Every structure is written in C-alpha cells, then in structure tokens.
Structure 1
C-alpha cells in the first residue's frame, strides 16, 4: 500500500463518547480515571479515527451537526498523544490541538468496554502497518544500492561441459556390434560347435586344417619326403583286374 497524503481513510467510528476535564498529573505514575468526575462529563458526542499517510487523527464531532469539537494528531501509539489510564480499560488521556500551536490534555471515556477495545485495536493496526511499510522501504533501498550480480559471458570467455556417460555408451555400442565375417556371437546356452548361419543364405567356409593326416595309413613304404600324388596308388599295384575297377568306383577291394 503506497502512501498517499491526499487520501484520508476511516479506521473507526463510535457514536457516543464522553470528554472529561482532568487535573494535572500529580506524578509520573500515570493518570487515574477515579480522580475525574465521571458522572459529570464536559462534553458528549461522536468519535472518528481517520488515517492520512502515516498519521492518525482522533476527531470529536457533534453527533447531530458533525461540527468538529476537538482533534488529536497521533504519530505513534502508544505515545504521548494517547495514553491509557492505570485503573480502567475504558478511559484514555488524549492531547488535543487547536491548529494554532496550542494543545491541552483531556480525558476520553467509552460507555461500553467493547468500544474502548475497538478504539485501541484501530490505532494498533494502523501503526503496525506503518512499521511494516517502513521496513519494506528500507529493504527496497538496500536492494537498489547493492551491486547486481553479473552472470553474463565476457568477451572471449568459454565454458567447458564434461559429460561422463559418453565413453560408457560408446563401449556398450562396440560390444553389440557383430563379429568379423558377418557372424553374430552364439546365443547364451548354445552348444559348442553349433554355428548359426549368417543372414541371406551365405555359406561360410570352415577354416582349413593345418597339417592334415593321410586318409589311409597302412604303413606305406612311401617316404614322407616324397608324398604320393594319388592316395589310392598303393592299391593299384596288386596286379588284379579288379583293382582298376575299384579305383574307378572309388572303393578298395581287399583279396
């Protein structure tokens, strides 16, 4: 709520209050309502509490004509402008002004205890708001004078970002690639020696065996240094006619 010196708000209205002439304060112990002539009020009428900016005003008016009888300017509460008596919650001492620099202290009383409670709360709430506004203004002033944090990049300034999961991701992709020759690794639990054919019907050639042994070895006298070009030649020297047929048919007949 921004302060507006041209706007006057209404805080509290009580249709009946009483004004008393009070004796001078005898000591610093405070005012006592019992010292007043409570059955003989000096004036009775209507009371209004208004606020204009930080100031509050207690206005005593004629309840029929609205003519102003007296006014008290309140700059803080509790304070010297409004003071509660020591022996009752329904009576207060207020300092009134005539507008020419003169002031006087009068007693103000309420017939009902609830009216005096509303009077007290209206002033308390107003100056509580004044205090909050003052603290907010100080905070805004502090923030406006504090240096602002500059998070923008300066010319030539760079930033380095480290992402630790890239190597792990590349390693996982490398493991999932097929083996050389287009063959996939055998599935878990597959028997040894079982090779899954590659896609597309491509046949793979088993690796050549190194140092293959002769298919038939019956202690042939042929030297290992001079291997025979025909594995079946040893059986054609038997001189049998049937041996030729055996060679043609691919079978060896023993006599």
Structure 2
C-alpha cells in the first residue's frame, strides 16, 4: 500500500488504510551469496509481483520497522534491469502482517542471513591469512633480554663490611678474599638457669606421750605406807595416839 512520507521519528503505520492496499499475497525471502531478496508472489500461481533486494549491510535501509507497530514494515521495492543488473527505479511501500509471529519470523530471517554472511566472510579472511603467510617470515615474539645478567668479560665489585679484612682501612675485596670468606657463625644459645627447687621439708616433730596416772593404791600398799616396810626393811604396825 502507498504510504505517506517518513516523519522525524519514523513511519507511522496508523495512517495507513487497508482500502488502499495494492497487493495481497505471499512473502518469500531468498538468498544467493550475500544478496537477500524479499519476493512478493501470487499465492495461486507463484508469479512474482515485486521484489526488494537487500545487499549485505543495507538491511535497515531496505526494510524499516514501523515506529508504532511491530507487525508493519516499510520495504524498498526496486526494479532491476536483467541485462545490466543495475537498478532502474525504486519505491517505498508499506507491508502489513496479520499476526505478530509472522512479523517476527520475517525480521529474524533477515537478521540471520546477515549474521551468517558476516561469519563466513570473517572465516574466509582468517583462512586466507593463515595460508598466505610464510612460517619463516612470520613475526616471532621478541624475547626480552635478561637485564640482570652480566655480559662476557664484565665483573662486579661488592663493597661491604662483611667482606673487609680485619685491621684494614677499607677498600674493595679481591677474588681470593671472597673465596676464603667463611659463613658467619651463630652465637651459642644462652644457658638457661635451672628452675627453682622447692624448700626442703622439715622433719616431723617427735610425738610426746603423756604417762598414764598411777594406778589406785591397793590396801596392801596403803598399810605399807603407815608402818609397812621402811627404808631399813623393817615392817610393823602403825600406832595412833
């Protein structure tokens, strides 16, 4: 269907009228190499009504989605001279799909063709570079020189207090002094004091026993104290006045 001019934000399909349609049929996408072509064909006979050629990289210029609907597109129909293959004339018309799924498949098919062509072109360029390059002339990675290695004939002089001889006033050392230098010895470990011993235990005090009280004087000893056996061994009865 014919459409008005494009606005600043894109084509507005809301102004399109169904009564102004010029063709109703089948849409088919065909690709040959990098060129994709949108063909509008008669459903009954398969006769071509119009075509929209899409060179690689010009998909957005040849097929533009409408700004206000995902089911509508603006396509660039072009007539090409069969002998020269040059474009003779072109016109922009509106394309309407009755279902959103059909519009989605139409847009995805064009994107997939463009991606496939770009991948094939990139693969071909990479293969050509690998085959055309000479392994002997290819750039080899440059190994960085060792900045800490000494060159042939170079010497190094070390000035350190550890390398000086005793009693000398200073100056660099010779190779002989370096060869005879012995590694420093470590100081002996400090002697640890023995741990303090506990004080000796005092012997236990002897146990004292208290003698039991004398037994009760019997009758014989009682009478002995009053006239019994005296110091002289004499015995007798005691007398009372």
Mapped to 2, the partners of 1:77 and 1:121 lie a distance apart of: 15
Q: 2:34 — aligned with what? A: 54
Where does 1:1-255 land on structure 2 (aligned, <5 Å)?
20-27=1-8, 29-38=9-18, 40-75=20-55, 76=57, 78-100=59-81, 101-149=88-136
TM-score (norm 2): 0.51
Q: Deviations over 1:69-104 (max 9, x none)?
A: 100001136421111111111011110112241000
TM-score (norm 1): 0.48
Q: Distance in 2 between matches of 1:98 and 1:60?
A: 13
CA distance in 1, matches of 2:135, 2:105: 46
Point out where structure 1 has 5 or more consecutive residues left out of the alignment: 1-19, 151-255
Following the alignment from structure 2 to structure 1, what is the Cα–Cα distance between the partners of residues 106 and 12?
Answer: 19
Deviation at 1:38, TM superposition (A): 3.6
Question: Could you tell me how far 1:132 is from its partner in structure 2?
Answer: 0.1
Contact persistence 1:77–1:127 (CA under 8 A): no
**Aligned residues of 2:74 and 2:94 also touching (Cα < 8 A):** yes
Q: Which has the higher contact order (CA 8 A, sep 6+)?
A: 1
The count of corresponding residues between Structure 1 and Structure 2 is: 130
Deviation at 1:114, TM superposition (A): 0.6
Note the alpha carbon deviations across 1:164-219, whole angstroms, 9 max, x for none: xxxxxxxxxxxxxxxxxxxxxxxxxxxxxxxxxxxxxxxxxxxxxxxxxxxxxxxx
Shift of 1:61: 0.8
- Give the CA RMSD over aligned residues: 1.7
Q: 1:83 aligns to what SS in structure 2? A: strand
Distance 2:125 2:40 in 1: 35
Larger Rg: 2
* Matching residue of 1:193: none
Gaps of 5+ in 2: 82-87, 138-241
Q: Is contact 1:77–1:124 with CA below 8 Å preserved after alignment?
A: no
Runs of 4+ in structure 1 off by over 4 angstroms are none
Partner SS state of residue 111, structure 2: helix
CA–CA separation in structure 1 for the residues paired with 2:38 and 2:62 = 10
Alpha-carbon offset, residue 35 of structure 1: 2.0
In the TM superposition, residue 43 of structure 1 has moved relative to its aligned partner by 1.4
Distance in 1 separating the partners of 2:115 and 2:3 = 30
